[in-house]
Amino acid sequence: METPSAQDGGPNRQGCMIGLFWIEQDRVCLGSPPTEDDLGVFLFPARVSIGEGAQRQEWPWTDIADLQVLDVPVRSSAARWATRVTGLVAAALNAWGPGGPSMMTAVVCSRDDRRVEMPVFSGAATAYTQREVDLSLGLLSHFVRGSTSPALLTQWWQDNQPSGVPNSREREAVLGDWMSSLM
């Protein structure tokens, strides 16, 4: 079944990756948005949701003790540039195609000691910067503590609706602005 498009009067599923988050008009995904076969981890202002429809599990933020993202691909700047150059040269020579996105693990820990682990795809083409990961995890901790909500991210999307893919410095700047607004 296809996701309704904005032309169908349904939600706009165009989005943008900032840090560990895929941001759309009305929801935030941890990592890349899920494919039809994957459940996905969604962050809403009032709740965390894994999956959609009949398979959905959800918790209000007040029931979340911790939310972690493990196995995040992080590379140094030099390694990211080398990977990009190698990928561009290989693609130009049709030698090989880049692999799929890396898998990460979202871990939802509830106050009643339940722990749910969900694989999610990384949104980064090669890897995230360490600063991007640190800022993203810091923002997640603010969601858990209740000092902000994912509405901060969806409001940014509605205000900016970026048409391209922001580079790592631009993503870090957006994350940094969000974090400084919480201080």
DSSP state of 128: B
pLDDT tens for each residue of 80-91: 444 444 444 434
pLDDT tens for each residue of 131-166: 999 999 999 999 999 999 999 999 999 999 888 888
Q: What percent of the chain has pLDDT over 70?
A: 79
The per-residue b/e assignment along 80-115, b for 16 or more CB within 10 angstroms, e otherwise, is: beeeeeebeeeeeeeeeeeeebbebbbebbbeeeee
Element (H, E) at 166: none
pLDDT tens for each residue of 48-81: 999 877 778 999 999 999 999 999 999 875 444 4
Q: Are 13 and 5 in contact (CB under 8 A)?
A: yes
Q: Helices (DSSP H) in the chain: which residue ranges?
A: 77-92, 130-145, 151-160, 168-181
- Selection from 13-17, 101-105, 152-156 with the highest mean pLDDT: 152-156
Longest dimension (CA), the chain: 54
Burial of 56 from C-beta contacts in 10 A (0-12 / 13-18 / 19+): exposed
pLDDT at 11 over 50: no
Least trusted range by pLDDT, from 101-105, 148-152, 170-174: 101-105
Count of Cβ atoms closer than 10 Å to residue 76 Cβ = 11
Which residue bears the tokens 């309704």?
4
pLDDT at 7 over 90: no
Structure confidence at residue 99 (pLDDT): 59
Q: Are 139 and 149 in contact (CB under 8 A)?
A: no
Q: Which residues pair with 120 in a beta bridge?
A: 104
Give me the chain's average pLDDT, please: 83
pTM value > 0.75: yes
Q: Are 172 and 135 in contact (CB under 8 A)?
A: yes
DSSP state of 18: E
